[in-house]
Amino acid sequence: MSELKLHILGCYSATPRAFTNPTAQVLEIKGHLFLIDCGEGTQVQLRKQKIKFSRIKHIFISHLHGDHFFGLPGLLSTFRLLGRDAPMHVYGPKGIKEAVVTMLRVGHAWTNYPLIFHELTAMESEIIFEDEKVEVHTIPLTHRVYTNGFLFKEKEGDRKLDINAVLNYNIDKCYYQNIKKGKDVVLENGEIIPNNLLTNDPLPPKSYAFCSDTSYNETIIPIIENANALYHESTFLEPHEKLAKQTGHSTALQAASIASKAKVKNLILGHYSTRYNNIQVFKEEAEQLFKHVELAEDGKAFTF
């Protein structure tokens, strides 16, 4: 069965603390391990969650605030120390290459593996990664600096072979792959067997939307509509809504409003301000508008 698994490495805003970490996540989807943002302490959190460094080949950075990318130079340097030779692709705002390359050069820690930067400048959603199983779209967000969220989408898989129907028509195995690709079958007597008599629909493709950091922004709704899970920042609670607007952030209630209007299946809150002692209040606020609410916590994993 197809499933998405999300590992929360860090989910708090601003400065790291002894028991909380800034933003970083790993998404498992169709054989990929995608690293999303890379705040300080990311590689330590990867170790704690026993995630294999070598399986990470694509890193997506939302914006160039330190709590979202200051862990990146150290992680890339560690890959070198581990003897990595596989290419690493980094997707992020224009300027990320200069920032990272400068630190690596000054520290004489330049990589001995291909390091490929994909710098983003578009103000509209675009596809930035695609293979035969997955595609990744940007989600333009509204923050104090140029920022993107990311939508990770499975592609529709092969149709499911109805083995009883295939055997009933005595179809040779050599045709099975074409049948799963949606093709009809022509029997030796010239009879055409429609594909829908030989297969069942594939499982619906799944998707995950990552949105941090951003002010309340309804323009993202068509991009993330019907996602299986939405991670949406909730730095503040409604009593601090004016502060959220001033700093380019959202409240838990605003995140729930986006989730409701986009008809997503699950909402995960995160990027909590450390001014609040109890994150349970974020869930309570969001549930006023949207019922399927989860709280991100460092070290927690979600499966969809």
> How would DSSP label each residue in 171-213?
--GGGHHHHHTT--EE-TTS-EE-GGGTEEPPPPP-EEEEE-S
Query: Using CA atoms, how far apart are residues 79 and 154, in angstroms rounded to an integer?
Result: 28
pLDDT in tens, the chain (304 residues): 568 999 999 999 987 787 899 999 999 999 999 999 999 999 999 999 999 999 999 999 999 999 999 999 999 999 999 999 999 999 999 999 999 999 999 998 889 999 999 999 999 999 999 999 999 999 999 999 999 999 999 998 888 888 888 888 888 888 888 888 889 888 888 889 889 888 888 889 999 999 999 999 999 999 999 999 999 999 999 999 999 999 999 999 999 999 999 999 999 999 999 999 899 999 999 999 999 999 999 999 999 9
- Say whether 7 counts as a known binding-site residue: no
Contact residues for 104 (Cβ-Cβ < 8 A; gap 6+): 73, 76, 77, 110, 111
Token pair 């109805």 is found at: 162
Domains of the chain: 5-157+203-303 (3.60.15.10), 160-200 (no CATH)
Of 156, 154, 155, 122, residue with least CA distance to 139: 122
- Say whether 172 counts as a known binding-site residue: no
184 is catalytic: no
CA triplet 34, 4, 208: central angle to 5 degrees? Answer: 70
- Say whether 292 counts as a known binding-site residue: no
From the candidates 67, 131, 158, 184, give the one annotated as an active-site residue.
67
- Say whether 63 counts as a known binding-site residue: yes
